[in-house]
Amino acid sequence: MIEKIKALLDETAHLLASNTEELEALRIKYLSKKGLIAALMDDFRNVPSDQKREVGMMLNELKQQTQDKILSLKEQFENTNTGHAETDLSRTAYPIPLGTRHPLSIVKEEICDIFKRLGFSIAEGPEIEDDWHVFSSLNFAEDHPARDMQDTFFIQSNPEVVLRTHTSSVQTRVMERTQPPIRIICPGRVYRNEAISYRAHCFFHQVEALYVDKDVSFADLKQALLFFAKEMFGENTKIRLRPSYFPFTEPSAEMDISCNICGGEGCPFCKYTGWVEILGCGMVDPNVLENCGIDSKIYSGYALGMGIERITNLKYQVKDLRMFSENDKRFLEEFQSAH
Ligand code: DAH
């Protein structure tokens, strides 16, 4: 009997179970009414009386040890499975790493919010586009250089299918299916066949805005631009419009803002001019309206487009465009406190 108990003491001290089913099997084997320990208890009657005291104590120890062992194994499963571990209140709190929003997302939302306050709503379109929406509907001549393989990614098997080179494609998608008034902003990713360097990447992000209604004039455009510039870069920001050319707007302009780094005094960032270019804009070319089934004798509109990376660089002075897509945590964590 004593030998049996000793063997079981040794055995139960080293019990192992890898899941709750195995643990239950152990409990049944040792501790149930028909288990090994209960059987020994039954046998206790037959122990000679001079040994009863010693055997009794050993049996109790065996039972206790087995119960404790099974309980501790059970706790171990509960800890790993459900997390309901006994809470150690003295333990130091460990930091929970919080993710940060990407600077481009922060700025994109800020741009969209400003236009939303002017009554614009968000519109989106596909990144894989067709030639019509990216070029033809927007008045690009057949031999326009932007259509060149050098600038545009084409889907090899079908030259009609391209990765959009600008978010202006969303303009025509919306105009084709909606009659004015139209007031949309279109944020999104665009692709160009550029060699990657600190100032160019093969993909980047733009926000396009389009307003079409009766009697929309260049003055409306200018007012919206001034509002945007002041909201984005501060009340003292000045704007300047320079004549430019885009196939889809007539007249076209590029907008500069007073350099927000030196306040217009002149610094390396603005190449000592006091001004930095931030977007392209203009009155929607009547051809574009007609291409989309909008009567250009009744309606007019303005459009503008800007690069989100450019605006982000101006706000946060990021010197190397590649940092936006490298996912370096040290860079991203710098925007922790940006809202
Ligand atoms: N799509 C132009 C680009 O990618 C930007 C642009 C210029 C958009 C003038 C416009 C605009 O809507 O009116 O460079």
DSSP state of 130: E
Helix extents (H) in the chain: 2-13, 20-31, 36-43, 49-82, 103-117, 131-134, 168-177, 218-233, 286-291, 308-316, 323-326, 329-332
pLDDT for 269-316, tens place per residue? 889 999 999 999 999 999 999 999 999 999 999 999 999 999 999 889
Pick the last residue of a domain from 21, 46, 79. Answer: 79
Looking at the structure, do residues 56 and 8 belong to the same domain, yes or no? yes
Residue 161 lies in a domain: yes
pLDDT for 177-202, tens place per residue? 999 999 999 999 999 999 999 989 99
Cβ contact 306:74 at 8 Å: no
Residue 195 lies in a domain: yes
Q: Which ligand 1 atom lies nearest to the CA of residue 306?
A: 5
C-alpha to C-alpha distance for 67 and 206, rounded to whole angstroms: 67
The answer to whether residue 81 scores a pLDDT higher than 60 is no
| Ligand 1 and 249: CB distance under 6 A | yes
DSSP state of 144: -
DSSP state of 185: E
C-alpha to C-alpha distance for 276 and 123, rounded to whole angstroms: 28
122: alpha, beta or left, given left = phi > 0 and alpha = psi -120 to 50? Answer: beta
The answer to whether residue 137 scores a pLDDT higher than 80 is yes
Cβ contact 111:187 at 8 Å: yes
pLDDT at residue 302 in the model = 98
Helix then strand count (H, E) for the chain reads: 12, 10
User: Residue written as tokens 């391209």?
Assistant: 162
DSSP state of 200: B
Report the Cα 302 to chain-centroid distance in Å. 31
Q: Residue 102: helix, strand or coil by DSSP?
A: coil
Residue range 219-226: mean pLDDT, rounded: 98
Cβ contact 270:261 at 8 Å: yes
Of 79, 81, 73, 76, the closest CA to residue 26 belongs to 73
Looking at the structure, do residues 167 and 250 belong to the same domain, yes or no? yes
Top pLDDT among 337 and 105 is at 105
Looking at the structure, do residues 44 and 111 belong to the same domain, yes or no? no
CA-proximal residue: ligand 1, atom 7 (nearest): 280
Q: Strand (E) positions, 115-198?
A: 121-122, 128-130, 154-155, 158-163, 182-191
Looking at the structure, do residues 65 and 115 belong to the same domain, yes or no? no
Looking at the structure, do residues 63 and 118 belong to the same domain, yes or no? no
CA-proximal residue: ligand 1, atom 3 (nearest): 166
C-alpha to C-alpha distance for 208 and 187, rounded to whole angstroms: 6
Q: What percent of the chain has pLDDT over 90?
A: 54
| Ligand 1 and 62: CB distance under 6 A | no
pLDDT at residue 82 in the model = 52
pLDDT at residue 84 in the model = 54
| Ligand 1 and 183: CB distance under 6 A | no
pLDDT at residue 159 in the model = 80
C-alpha to C-alpha distance for 327 and 111, rounded to whole angstroms: 22
pLDDT at residue 339 in the model = 55
Residue range 19-34: mean pLDDT, rounded: 87
Looking at the structure, do residues 307 and 200 belong to the same domain, yes or no? yes
Backbone angles phi, psi at 211, to 5 degrees: -130, 120
C-alpha to C-alpha distance for 226 and 281, rounded to whole angstroms: 13
Please indicate, yes or no, whether the overall pTM of this predicted structure exceeds 0.75: no
Residue 95 lies in a domain: no
Residues 6 or more apart in contact with residue 247 via CB below 8 angstroms: 138, 139, 140, 141, 144, 285
Looking at the structure, do residues 61 and 180 belong to the same domain, yes or no? no
Residue 87 lies in a domain: no
| Ligand 1 and 208: CB distance under 6 A | yes
Residue range 212-233: mean pLDDT, rounded: 97
Q: Which of 23-32, 160-169, 213-222 has the lowest mean pLDDT?
A: 23-32
pLDDT at residue 289 in the model = 98
Residue 226 lies in a domain: yes
Residue 203 lies in a domain: yes
| Ligand 1 and 304: CB distance under 6 A | yes
Of 169, 179, 164, 180, the closest CA to residue 123 belongs to 169
pLDDT at residue 85 in the model = 58
User: Residue written as tokens 């932007």?
Assistant: 146
pLDDT at residue 100 in the model = 86
Looking at the structure, do residues 54 and 129 belong to the same domain, yes or no? no
Residue 264 lies in a domain: yes
The CATH number for 305's domain is 3.30.930.10
C-alpha to C-alpha distance for 23 and 15, rounded to whole angstroms: 9
CA-proximal residue: ligand 1, atom 6 (nearest): 305
Top pLDDT among 276 and 95 is at 276
At 41, is the pLDDT very low, low, confident or very high (cuts 50, 70, 90)?
A: confident
Count of structural domains, the chain: 2
CA-proximal residue: ligand 1, atom 4 (nearest): 166
Residue 88 lies in a domain: no
Highest mean pLDDT among 17-21, 110-114, 157-161: 110-114
At 338, is the pLDDT very low, low, confident or very high (cuts 50, 70, 90)?
A: low
Looking at the structure, do residues 219 and 136 belong to the same domain, yes or no? yes
* Helix orientation angle between 103-117 and 308-316, rounded to the nearest 10 degrees: 100
pLDDT at residue 170 in the model = 98
pLDDT at residue 149 in the model = 64
Looking at the structure, do residues 75 and 110 belong to the same domain, yes or no? no
Q: Which domain holds residue 39?
A: 2-79
C-alpha to C-alpha distance for 209 and 183, rounded to whole angstroms: 8
Of 146, 246, 158, 130, the closest CA to residue 192 belongs to 146
Looking at the structure, do residues 66 and 133 belong to the same domain, yes or no? no
Looking at the structure, do residues 23 and 133 belong to the same domain, yes or no? no
C-alpha to C-alpha distance for 23 and 28, rounded to whole angstroms: 9
At 319, is the pLDDT very low, low, confident or very high (cuts 50, 70, 90)?
A: confident
